Amino acid sequence: MTEAITIILLSTFFAFAIAPLIINILYRLNVVRKIENDFSSIVGERTQKEGTPIMGGLIIIITTLVVTLTLNWNTYTYIPIIVLLISATLGALDDLLNIFGRKRLVRPLHKHIRLAMIHKNWKKRVWLALLIPWSAYKNIWYKLGSYPGKGIHAGEKIIVQTLTGGIVAFWLFSYLGISTIWIPFLGDFEIGFLMPFFIIFTIISMSNAVNISDGMDGLSSGLLISSYSAFLLIAIIEQQTEIALLLATIIGSLIAYLYFNIKPARIEMGDIGSLSMGALLATIAFLQDKIFLLPIIGLPFVIEIGSSLLQSIYKSIFRRRLFKMAPLHLHYLIKGWSEEKVVMRFWLFGLITAIIGFWIYIISI
Amino acid sequence: MKKLPKEVIKLIEDYFNLNINGKKVKTPYHINVKHARAELRSLVGKGTPQEIEEEVNIFAKLRNFNLKKTSENEIREFMQKEGIGVDCSGLVAHILDTWVKSEKKGNLRTNVVFPKMSFLKRIIIALRPIENINADLLTNKFNSIPVELENVQIGDLIRLKGIERGHHIAIITNVNEKEIEYIHSTKHYGQDNGIKRGKIKIVNKKKDLEHQKWLEKDKDGVCWTLKQFLKEKNDNGIRRPKFFVKE
């Protein structure tokens, strides 16, 4: 416990120290929010966010890396750090392409096939023919409602996230031979070969859930602090020191980040932070064998991604709205709640669900 | 004499008086000419008054458009700019759907005969009936019968325009010895586009609509509805939905 608190403080101070520097560098490099690339900015009031540096997740990533590599580098932490790095790289690419990239359109499949047949250059024809399956894959995502923009497309993101989940799945299932999940009150439950699929699915879902929740100043970081804190308490009780210290590092860096992210934000997390924090949360839940508690402790994230999914399905089928807007935090914003009100109520909700998750853990051990 | 059910009267009133931030706004015309991908039905001219009201409120938030400080006309302009409104078949389909439901005879989809179609298309129609019922379908020979002017009654439809540029439709809401009153959603009549009441003064009951006096006019005195009637005159006219004939 003392070690964890020390690491939280250390990590907070470190993050506070590097944050102004990172904010300054991002400003200089013009890594700032541009309204036309931002989905959440479709809400008129959010145009005020234009010009705020994004990729603030760097504060969390750098702090976690430095503190973990110097004080907590061992067999329990290298897989989470690899997950963190892969997801952060994916997020960083997305953030940078969204700012500096060009719009990437999806060519309809029939046009792609036609081009592969008639292109005047035979090398290009072969190349296009080889790319038909890839074009078909991208078209499926397009049909499912993913709007292509400047950044990484949904289909591409899913591939990298599957790879990230695959690494965790390989390590847990093939290397350590873990194929059970712990269910409160019932104990361990064998799921066999489904385990890798379950791991990949959970990591993809959580990564995107946190990404979707990162749509208002302070929202995702506040929720992440509650969720990570619940898992920290569990790690302390289970005497998983290495994991506890990793969690403490993340919480510390999130506290400092939140200071700068509170409305009006001086910096925003960006995909670099949200995708990696979500993937890491799921990875740590698997490492602690407390994956069943993840949808309870992280219920706000589940609700956020669930509302987006439901809205999308409902709109596709009935051409009507289920919520005024999705994800859910935008529904309340449209309803007339102020941004602060939405964020603080979500924080409270996140705190309650984290307490409930921890309570379920306590009474079931 | 047939009467409009009170549910239909309310629906029509709601289209004429959308409640936008306490202001009463007449629904403008909008048709989905671009066939926008995966659009909401209220954005392709097929929404109910409530859906249209909700969409205006959402778009006002999205675009920082202050509904409190703007006049009814400015709200209508904003709606047209954002593609929020109702088209002719959307309006009539909702009216007929409400009518059929008020008489507990299922819904419009179950009372309309659709052309032969694939299983998938049938599912789509079951899920989105209003979007798949157009002016031609409601007034074709499978779903309606031609009616002479002397036998016209409330609930009859007026088939207008033609195959060349798509059909237009109006629904008759009042009939007396001297006049016929109809409602439609039209793109014409300038700023007065959208849901509109029109009247036809009966000059000679024995003759068809062309020979009656159409009172709906724009500021230049042009009756666009009569022009639409004359486009493919032989195929246009008054039609009675077959589900009303069964009575």
Q: How far apart are CA B234 and CA B237, in angstroms?
A: 8
Smallest CA–CA distance, residue B66 to chain A, in Å, is 11
**pLDDT tier at A341, thresholds 50, 70, 90:** very high
Per the domain annotation, does A339 fall within a domain?
A: no
Confirm whether A249 is domain-assigned.
yes
Q: Which residue has the higher pLDDT, B9 or B232?
A: B9
Range B119-144 average pLDDT:
91
> Over chain A, what is the mean pLDDT?
88
DSSP lists the bridge partners of residue B19 as B24
Q: Would the pLDDT of A190 be above 90?
A: no
Provide the pLDDT for residue A44: 57
Are the beta carbons of B86 and B45 closer than 8 angstroms?
yes
Q: Is residue A184 part of a domain?
A: yes
Domain that holds residue A229: 2-103+156-290
- From chain A, the residues in CB contact with B66 under 8 A are none
Query: How many structural domains compose chain A?
Result: 1
The per-residue pLDDT for B37 is: 55
Q: What is the pLDDT of residues B141-150, one digit of tens each?
A: 999 999 998 8
Average pLDDT (B177-185) is 93
Mean pLDDT score of chain B = 89
pLDDT at A159 over 80: yes
- Domain membership flag for residue A318: no
Kindly report, residue by residue over B154-173, the tens digit of the pLDDT. 999 999 988 777 889 999 99
Give the gap in angstroms from C-alpha B107 to the nearest C-alpha of chain A.
Answer: 16
pLDDT digits (tens, 9 = 90+) for B78-94: 999 998 999 999 999 99
Average pLDDT over residues A350-357: 96
- Residue A292: the pLDDT is 92
The pLDDT of residue B177: 86
Q: Inter-axis angle of helices A270-287 and A154-169, to 10 degrees? A: 30
Residue A21 inside a domain? The answer is yes
Contacts of A316 in chain B (CB under 8 A): 38
Q: Which two tokens stand for residue A267?
A: 């910096």
**A204 touches B: beta carbon within 8 Å:** no
pLDDT > 80? residue A37: no
Range with the poorest average pLDDT among A19-28, A53-62, B230-239: B230-239
pLDDT at A46 over 70: no
Per-residue pLDDT band at A45 (split at 50, 70, 90): low
Q: Distance from A260 to chain B by nearest Cα, in Å?
A: 26
pLDDT tens digits, one per residue of A88-145: 999 998 888 888 877 777 788 889 999 989 988 899 999 999 999 999 988 888 877 6
Tokens of A209: 């859930």
Note the pTM of the prediction, 2 decimals. 0.84
Using the beta-carbon criterion (under 8 Å), do A324 and B65 form an inter-chain contact?
no
Q: What is the pLDDT of residues A226-271, one digit of tens each?
A: 999 999 999 999 998 899 999 999 999 999 999 999 988 888 888 9
What pLDDT is attached to residue A138?
A: 85
Contact between A319 and B62 using a beta-carbon 8 Å cutoff? no
Least trusted range by pLDDT, from A82-86, A168-172, A249-253, B197-201: A168-172
Across the interface, whether the CB atoms of B62 and A315 are under 8 A apart is answered: no
- Is A150 a domain residue? no
Residue at A120 is within a domain:
no
**Cβ B225 vs Cβ B186: under 8 Å:** yes
The percentage of chain B sitting over the pLDDT mark of 70, rounded to a whole number, equals 96
Nearest residue on chain B to A324, judged by CA atoms? B58
Q: Which residues pair with B46 in a beta bridge?
A: B86
CA B99 to chain centre: 14
Q: b/e per residue, A210-243, with b = 16+ CB within 10 A?
A: bbbbbbbbbbbbbbbbbbbbbbbbbbbeeebebb
Q: Please report whether residue A313 resides in a domain.
A: no
Tell me the DSSP string of A238-305: TT-HHHHHHHHHHHHHHHHHHHHHSSSPS---HHHHHHHHHHHHHHHHHHTT-GGGHHHHTHHHHHHH
Q: What is the pLDDT of residue A105?
A: 77
pLDDT, position A145: 66
A47, A145, A325 ranked by CB distance to B38: nearest: A145
- Cβ of B58 within 8 Å of Cβ of A334? The answer is yes
Residue A161, pLDDT > 90, answer no
**pLDDT tens profile A80-102:** 899 899 999 999 988 888 888 77
- Chain A, nearest residue to B59 by Cα: A43
At residue A257, the pLDDT reads 95
Q: Residue A317 and residue B57: Cβ atoms within 8 Å?
A: no
Inter-chain touch B64–A324, beta carbons under 8 Å: no
